[in-house]
């Protein structure tokens, strides 16, 4: 009996102490999971990669920190490992060629059999289609290529010598020190670290978070850029979610000109591979307004020359979010201090002559914006604009024109909605109003829509469609919080919140008190208030009784244990009759 009671008490305590959801993964737990990449079992290594791939997006910051932790393997060992599995690595000595690949083995056609077709040369290995995770897991570390001398970048394999050359070389080729081939233990460590990095790359890319590009981009340039090919592949797998960060990295500036130039070229290369190098395509291919707004914001932040026309084309976008971001970005082009002037020089003409006047090498973003504005204003006004008008003045005229057009469209929709409401078609009226609010949440006359939302919410309440009624009544409060119907709508919201709480077995009398304070005519709230207070009193009584019973049970258990541990000679005497 005591054991059963003790287990029941412990189970109740564990149920109270257990969190509602599983605890997030810690750094030490992640390191313990990553230790499986050093296992000799290929299935254990793939299981560790599968675990990382199914982590929630909230784990991305921790995965990014793990991705950039110091590695034990040298870049030379990584290069030999990647070349051995038919991947490609950046040229670490010169820029030509850009990528180094393992040369294909010589192929000798087998003897032809009469009546059979000729044997075809096998297809060469394609690093672009190589699955790094599978290749690393299946690579044979005993392959002789890992112990052979490594060739220099770009150096073709020496042709076989059938006979001694007639003449000796005039000057011997320069000797370049090559690192010693790695041992089997070093290759195993390199494979484990490489598999962990590739698995982390894929897990980070799968989160589809726009801030996930930076750690992958940083790994592409350390250590020695050996992971650059796989980093680019995972960045491209994110699609439009990677575009805002790539735009920022493509336009970054700083004192390290040579290092940043490589990063800018790499970012531009990834955009080109995704067919999003043109701003119009980058914006049009965004999957939703959130990503589209982030792309527009980044172009405006950098004042990118190539994005002038694309940004101007979005200042009248149907989406309020996109339109607001595009106008902010456009004002970055036309306001603020003027950009530094472009360098001037005389251009060379045919015949070796030069022009008489110096001309700028390029147009600044302010000049490009002014030209685009003049063209747009002329198209809508059917007349050339004043050549002395500034870019900001033309922008105000263009925005005003778009706003007047949009306001006229909203007025027509508002009139149609009010006519529907007067005819008793509240749902049709709300459809018109909802279309306006979806495109312009800050519509100036939104307060005139409150009555339709309130009446329709009341109709749904009477029909006992409580969740739907709550949605429309909350919107009625949000449309005009200080309007004439605000207290009436807020009272019904509080009333229905209390009704839902009672339906789920919770007693919240404060909601009904708030409903009565906002609208004393709500007779329904009075009865529900009494019911909620009675339920709370009964629940408090039951909880107090349960607590008292648990306390008595605990005291009884302590008494039984005390009786059991006392020596027999010290047992208390039975009470005398």
Q: What is the pLDDT of residues 552-577, one digit of tens each?
A: 777 777 767 766 776 655 555 555 54
Supply the angle between the helices 426-439 and 391-422 in degrees, to the nearest 10: 170
Task: List, in order, residues 6 or more apart from 557 with CB less than 8 Å away.
Answer: 2, 5, 6, 9
Check whether the bond before 97 is cis (ω within 30° of 0).
Answer: yes
Question: Quick one: tokens of 216?
Answer: 């992958």
- Is 445 contained in some domain? yes
**What tens digit of pLDDT does each residue of 98-110 get?**
899 988 888 888 8
- Whether 18 maps to a domain, the answer reads no
| 575 vs 67: which has the higher pLDDT | 67
Confidence of residue 536 (pLDDT cuts 50, 70, 90): low
Are the C-beta atoms of residues 243 and 275 closer than 8 Å to each other? Answer: no
Q: What is the 3-state secondary structure (H, E, C) of 344-372?
A: EECCECHHHCECCCCEECCCCHHHHHHHH
Q: Count of alpha carbons within 13 Å of 524, Cβ hemisphere only?
A: 11
Average pLDDT over residues 81-102: 90
pLDDT at 15 over 60: no
- What's the distance, CA 362 to chain centroid? 36
Judge whether 362 and 342 are in contact, CB under 8 Å: yes
Kindly state whether residue 424 falls inside one of the protein's structural domains. yes
Backbone angles phi, psi at 63, to 5 degrees: -65, -35
Task: Please report the pLDDT score of residue 5 as a whole number.
Answer: 39
Q: What is the pLDDT of residue 151?
A: 62
- Asked if residue 71 has pLDDT above 60, the reply is yes
Q: Is the pLDDT of residue 116 over 50?
A: yes
Q: Is the dihedral of CA 208, 308, 303, 278 positive or negative?
A: positive
SS3 state at 275: coil
Cβ neighbours for 436, distance < 8 A, ≥ 6 positions apart: 410, 413, 414, 417, 443, 446
* DSSP-derived 3-state class of residue 99: strand
pLDDT tens-place string over residues 150-208? 666 755 555 655 555 555 554 554 555 567 889 999 999 999 999 999 999 999 999 99
pLDDT of residue 539 exceeding 70? no
Domain-embedded: residue 247: no
- Encode pLDDT of 24-36 as tens digits: 789 999 999 999 9
Counting the structural domains of the chain, the total is 2
Range among 116-130, 303-317, 427-441, 501-515 rated most confident: 303-317
Determine the pLDDT at residue 200.
97
Least confident window among 90-99, 159-168, 358-367, 489-498: 159-168
SS3 171: coil
Tell me whether residue 399 is in a domain.
no
| Domain-terminating residue out of 203, 221, 237 | 237
Q: Is the preceding omega at residue 297 within 30 degrees of 0, hence cis?
A: no
464 found inside a domain = yes
CATH of the domain at 512: 1.25.40.10
Q: How far is residue 333's CA from residue 330's CA, in Å, rounded to a whole number?
A: 5
Please tell me the chain's helix, strand, coil percentages from 3-state DSSP, rounded to the nearest 5.
60, 0, 35
Each residue's pLDDT tens digit, 330-358: 999 999 999 998 888 888 888 778 888 88
What average pLDDT does this structure show over 246-265? 84
Helices 2-17 and 523-565: crossing angle in degrees, nearest 10, is 140
Residue spans of alpha helices (H) in 480-508: 486-503
Domain annotation covers residue 271 = no
Rounded to two decimals, the pTM is 0.77
- The answer to whether 479 and 471 have CB atoms below 8 angstroms apart is no
First-to-last alpha carbon distance for the chain, in angstroms, is 28
Residue 265 lies in a domain: no
- The answer to whether residues 275 and 246 touch, using CB atoms and an 8 Å cutoff, is no
pLDDT of residue 258 exceeding 70: no
Label residue 118 by pLDDT band (50, 70, 90). confident
Confidence check: pLDDT of 268 > 60: yes
Q: Say if residues 247 and 304 touch (Cβ distance below 8 Å).
A: yes
% the chain with pLDDT above 70: 84
| Interval 238-250: pLDDT, tens | 999 999 999 999 9
Average pLDDT of 416-433? 91
For residue 205, give the nearest of 248, 237, 230 by alpha carbon.
237
- 448 vs 72: CA distance, rounded Å: 68
Nearest-5° angle of CA 223, CA 75, CA 35?
80
Three-class SS state of 252: coil
Number of residues written out for the chain: 577
Higher pLDDT, 293 or 522: 293
Tens of pLDDT, residue by residue over 269-318, are 999 999 999 999 999 999 999 999 999 999 999 999 999 999 999 999 99
Q: What is the mean pLDDT of the chain?
A: 84
- Containing structural domain, residue 40: 26-102+129-150+183-237
- CA pair distance 159, 102, nearest whole angstrom: 16
Last residue of a domain, one of 191, 206, 237: 237
Of 254, 311, 246, residue with least CA distance to 275: 246
For residues 525-542, give the mean pLDDT.
64
CB atoms < 10 A from the CB of 218, how many? 14
């Amino acid at each position: 009996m005591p054991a059963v009671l003790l287990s029941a008490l412990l189970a109740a305590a564990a149920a109270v102490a257990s969190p509602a959801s599983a605890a997030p993964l810690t750094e030490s737990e992640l390191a313990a999971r990553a230790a499986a990449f050093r296992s000799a079992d290929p299935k254990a290594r793939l299981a560790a990669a599968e675990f990382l791939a199914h982590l929630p997006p909230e784990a991305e910051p921790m995965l990014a920190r793990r991705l950039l932790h110091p590695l034990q393997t040298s870049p030379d060992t990584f290069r030999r490992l990647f070349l051995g599995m038919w991947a490609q690595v950046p040229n670490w000595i010169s820029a030509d060629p850009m990528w180094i690949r393992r040369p294909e083995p010589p192929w000798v056609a087998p003897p032809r059999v009469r009546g059979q077709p000729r044997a075809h040369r096998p297809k060469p290995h394609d690093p672009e289609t190589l699955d790094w995770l599978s290749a690393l897991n299946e690579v044979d570390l005993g392959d002789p290529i890992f112990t052979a001398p490594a060739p220099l970048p770009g150096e073709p394999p020496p042709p076989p010598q059938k006979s001694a050359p007639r003449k000796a070389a005039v000057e011997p080729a320069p000797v370049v020190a090559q690192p010693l081939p790695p041992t089997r233990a070093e290759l195993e460590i390199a494979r484990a670290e490489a598999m962990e990095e590739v698995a982390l790359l894929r897990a980070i890319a799968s989160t589809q978070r726009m801030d996930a590009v930076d750690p992958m981009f940083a790994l592409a340039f350390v250590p020695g850029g050996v992971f650059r090919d796989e980093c680019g592949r995972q960045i491209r797998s994110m699609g439009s979610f990677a575009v805002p960060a790539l735009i920022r990295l493509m336009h970054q500036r700083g004192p390290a000109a040579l290092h940043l130039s490589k990063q800018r070229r790499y970012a531009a290369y990834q955009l080109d591979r995704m067919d999003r190098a043109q701003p119009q395509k980058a914006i049009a291919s965004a999957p939703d307004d959130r990503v589209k707004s982030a792309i527009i914001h980044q172009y405006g932040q950098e004042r990118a020359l190539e994005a002038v026309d694309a940004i101007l084309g979005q200042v009248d976008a149907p989406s309020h979010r996109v339109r607001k971001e595009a106008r902010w970005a456009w004002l970055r082009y036309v306001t603020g201090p003027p950009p530094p002037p472009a360098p001037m020089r005389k251009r060379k003409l045919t015949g070796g002559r030069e022009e008489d006047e110096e001309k700028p090498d390029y147009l600044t973003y302010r000049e490009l914006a002014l030209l685009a504005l003049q063209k747009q204003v002329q198209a809508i006004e059917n007349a050339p604009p004043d050549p002395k008008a500034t870019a900001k003045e033309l922008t105000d005229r263009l925005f005003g024109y778009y706003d007047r057009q949009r306001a006229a469209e909203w007025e027509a929709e508002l009139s149609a909605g009010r006519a529907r409401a007067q005819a008793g078609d509240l749902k049709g009226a709300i459809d018109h109003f909802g279309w306006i609010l979806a495109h312009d949440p800050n519509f100036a006359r939104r307060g005139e829509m409150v009555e339709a939302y309130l009446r329709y919410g009341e109709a749904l309440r009477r029909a006992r469609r409580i969740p739907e009624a709550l949605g429309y009544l909350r919107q009625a409060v949000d449309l005009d919080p200080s309007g004439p119907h605000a207290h009436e709508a807020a009272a019904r919201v509080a009333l229905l919140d209390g009704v839902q709480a009672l339906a789920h077995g919770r007693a919240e009398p404060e909601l009904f008190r708030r409903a009565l304070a906002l609208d004393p005519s709500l007779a329904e709230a009075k009865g529900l208030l009494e019911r909620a207070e009675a339920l709370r009193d009964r629940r408090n009584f039951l909880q107090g009784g349960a607590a008292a019973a648990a306390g008595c049970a605990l005291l009884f258990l302590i008494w039984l244990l005390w009786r059991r541990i006392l020596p027999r000679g010290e047992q208390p005497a039975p009470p005398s009759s």
